[in-house]
Structure 1
């Protein structure tokens, strides 16, 4: 299994993220994920730099492959603009770029004041958006009048000769089927073999990437405290992460997430076996790549620990 590092734009500022990218490459991580948010999940996280600015800067500090995890090309940003931005980033990175896309969250996408569509509509929008992005990446002049998007006489001039792959995020069976139809790969966050298997069945065995978090710290209890303070949203059930519209709503909802549930769900501390077991869980679910983020202030220690102890086990 390939292991990369997950840059959390919600928790860290621009300069910190660049330092993480450099350190991850030096430690031997094999790629980078980077999240795309307008808002963080809560005020404690306290950051949300613009992902497309960050990707351009990352290309100047390291040579790792970068994947957006994930961009929503349907509501907040028109797919034609995503096509241009992703084409430019892929050219800047010498082709070391994958466009990860998904149906998004109201937290980020409802900022312009429009209605938040149902999941079925969002999947329909995503499928049309991905098709439009691929068409624009041909370098031809494109006019498009679809159900959700209109483009008049648009042409993207800067895209590598081989356009980026598009990986599609999915959190349920219906979304996994859409991802299998339209994606070059799959993006998930849960070690769910049924979802990964469904995607691979529909897609003919295309690759799957996952993201996971740890709370590396001198003790497990300190790690859990950081995780509970910074990322209680990870404990929210069902579709709440997709439909809550504001940071305030997330802070209200995560007040119901207990420290006990955080302890049960988060790998914390320095126990090597627990970190290795989490990676194996994702490998056993069928993922080909795993991108690991650290929650809390001990990110440099986590990167060095993984470089020395975890990455060699899966080389």
Structure 2
């Protein structure tokens, strides 16, 4: 797209050939302007990652992320996709990396036994949304009523970014949500959230959750896979009592309602101490462009 390192397209967190979240990645974006990076995100319509030299020589890379409308502090699936490409290009050859992002230093590790790449997220903060009027606005934006909710309460959960977790009684109701998209941004602004993340429990599989992500203002209405939101859900699930002390983590299925099924593994760095943060992981593959 520019006269520098070409943009490569990967699919992250996919469970089928049509699933997951595509991520355009430029492995050498040194010298690119903000407008060039935003143009890539707009052309592809997806969160895009741009790899640069680290400002601090003690770190390995610097990543920047753009969606069609703005720059993002952090993007989990685009980070995984960029690291996978760096691995395949022979640029990242060690078992660990430290990456500069606008959200702070992100750690990565590579497990050669199963070629798994994991990306760190900080410990989550979980705060109940207690204002009745704000709860009503959130439900209205999602076209839900109080009977659609599990009796757990809506919460804001924050790792790299804040997501609003909305517990839904059934997966069927979750997948039937038809939000009032024009109201998502204003509700998220009042919530100080970057997206609404309604979720349900898989009745047949403990620690498996179904979820959907409606971002605040990314330039598209729904995400097929959202690593940062899945990390937030891990800490929300811990707060709700679905993940007991000593248990490793959860699997989040997303994108089913969009026909793009995805799976995101989120595990505590230390199952005995949630304050140590967590690891995100999932499958990555190349998308061959026509």
Q: 1 or 2, which has the higher helix percentage?
A: 1
Normalising by structure 2, we get a TM-score of 0.25
Q: TM-score, normalised by structure 1?
A: 0.24
Q: Which has the higher strand share?
A: 2
